[in-house]
Amino acid sequence: MATTSETTVAELTKLLARHDSAPVTAGVPVHEVFADIFPHGLRSGAVYSLRGSMTAALALLAGPSLAGSWCGVVGVPDLGVEAAAEWGVQLDRLALVPRFDPADWTTVIAALAEVTALVVAAPPDRISPGEVSRLLARLRTSGSTLVVLGPWPRAAAELTGQVVEWRGLHQGHGHLSAWRVQLEVTERHRRRQIEFAVPVRP
């Protein structure tokens, strides 16, 4: 009898095998709002740590998705798919694994890495150094990039997002029209940041 992990991986494999898609190899494209901070895109085969902003995660997914690649999201049951679509994420090329057995996390990520350009994932509470090394090796081989929603050992860069401005609200009154998010990237002791607006649908 198949375990939860085996069932999930088998379903993903069947789903993605029906489509002509493979991870990018030269670098993962980014949405235009990140063009200044990631002029060459995200590094293929790397892991990025992102904290504080699911909006930034959706924007990161939009880059490779708009370029025609499959993407995946793991462990985010309340993902706002409408918000993702507004950023440009192609929902017909988005593999969702809302829940997972913590013991199977690396197996699910490794399976997605074989057929997606970018995976955004909430990590389990604990992961062993051996699992980290094996997953990094799989990512380097496949060329897929992983964005972990939380801390991660040996991350290529740490991304921290926060809302810095709400627009349309004045002294607690009015209609929210947009908000601005600040994203700070720390990479090899170098810090850089950008701000971008997030519109609100009426």
Q: How many domains does the chain have?
A: 1
Confidence of residue 1 (pLDDT cuts 50, 70, 90): very low
- The pTM of the full predicted model, rounded to 2 decimals, is 0.84
The pLDDT of residue 5: 45
Q: Which domain holds residue 30?
A: 20-156
Residue 64 has pLDDT above 50, yes or no: yes
Residue 186 has pLDDT above 50, yes or no: yes
More confident residue, 23 or 94: 94
In a domain, 74, yes or no: yes
Please write the tens of the pLDDT for every residue from 135-168. 999 999 999 999 999 999 889 999 999 887 666 5
The pLDDT of residue 167: 60
For 8-12, 106-110, 128-132, which range has the lowest pLDDT when averaged over its residues? Answer: 8-12
Token reading at 119: 């995976």
The pLDDT of residue 171: 47
Alpha-carbon 127 to chain mean position: 19
Please write the tens of the pLDDT for every residue from 8-57. 556 666 665 655 554 445 689 999 999 999 999 999 999 999 999 999 99
CATH of the domain at 151: 3.40.50.300
The pLDDT of residue 57: 95
The pLDDT of residue 4: 40
In a domain, 109, yes or no: yes
In a domain, 4, yes or no: no
In DSSP terms, 34 is beta-bridged to none
CA distance 120 to 57: 7
Per DSSP, the residues of 67-111 read TT--EEEES-TT--HHHHHHHT--GGGEEEE----GGGHHHHHHH
More confident residue, 196 or 76: 76
Its sign, for the CA torsion 85, 93, 161, 27, is negative
In a domain, 175, yes or no: no
Q: Quick one: what percent of the chain has pLDDT higher than 90?
A: 60
In a domain, 119, yes or no: yes
User: By the 8 A CB rule, do 4 and 104 touch?
Assistant: yes
In a domain, 199, yes or no: no
The contacts of residue 14 (CB under 8 Å, 6+ apart) are none
In a domain, 172, yes or no: no
In a domain, 59, yes or no: yes
